[in-house]
A and B are shown apart, each in its own frame.
Chain A
């Protein structure tokens, strides 16, 4: 069965500092991997996805993530965090058919300090 672990419940980063959010997955085949962001009162928004090909994927809002098969990881990074990035971030894994039946992690809440 698929599973996702986000080991950090909360992370606080200073504005302008770099960010890395950790995600580890368990899946028997080549995974489809996603990062979503959820702001208060907003729906889940897709930041980026990995289906195949280049293991470093670029997303919206300056985010990127790197798929590392050997470590079963798909960590999210941003070189310089803005106050507006404060939100809940979810990593998710899907089957080889795409977006249906995603399995989400428990999320990491990002706090941005001035």
Chain B
């Protein structure tokens, strides 16, 4: 596609439920990044993939958060037992590789009620 695509654009879920957020990177981009942006804050790094493997997952806040990229393209961010504090905009970005510009999607706004 022309840019990084994230679905859904908005997600409302009840506390305790499981959610999946999807990211379709730019075709051919090997690196993929997830960030979380809370209200009034800058984006906060969650995890970075190079190909299929998570090269750095040090930003995942706890074991309720998990991300996969099984074929080195589409990635899914999975959140178990959602909490109200998980409410934020989840941003995905991709790049051709390290050291090259990362292009961001428009994000998924997650609201936990």
> Interface on A for B, CB 8 Å cutoff?
4, 36, 41-46, 49, 90, 92, 97-107
Interface size class of B (residues with CB under 8 A): 20 to 34
Please give me the residue from chain A that is nearest to B49 by CB atom.
A100
Complex Cα distance A41/B56, Å?
28
Q: Are A104 and B98 in contact (CB under 8 A)?
A: no
Interface centre among A45, A100, A101, A102, by most chain B C-beta atoms within 10 angstroms, is A100
Q: Are A44 and B91 in contact (CB under 8 A)?
A: yes
> Interface on B for A, CB 8 Å cutoff?
3-4, 31, 33, 35, 40-45, 48, 55-56, 58-59, 91, 93, 95, 98-107
Residues A100 and B31 in contact in the complex (CB < 8 Å), given A41-B106, A42-B106, A43-B91? yes
Q: Are B107 and A43 in contact (CB under 8 A)?
A: yes
Complex Cα distance A103/B48, Å?
13
Q: Are B42 and A98 in contact (CB under 8 A)?
A: no
Please give me the residue from chain A that is nearest to B4 by CB atom.
A43
Residues A99 and B102 in contact in the complex (CB < 8 Å), given A43-B91, A44-B91? yes
Q: Are A106 and B41 in contact (CB under 8 A)?
A: yes
Complex Cα distance A102/B100, Å?
13
Q: Which residues of A contact B104 (CB under 8 A)?
A: 36, 43-45
Q: Are B40 and A106 in contact (CB under 8 A)?
A: yes
Residues A104 and B102 in contact in the complex (CB < 8 Å), given A43-B107, A99-B95? no
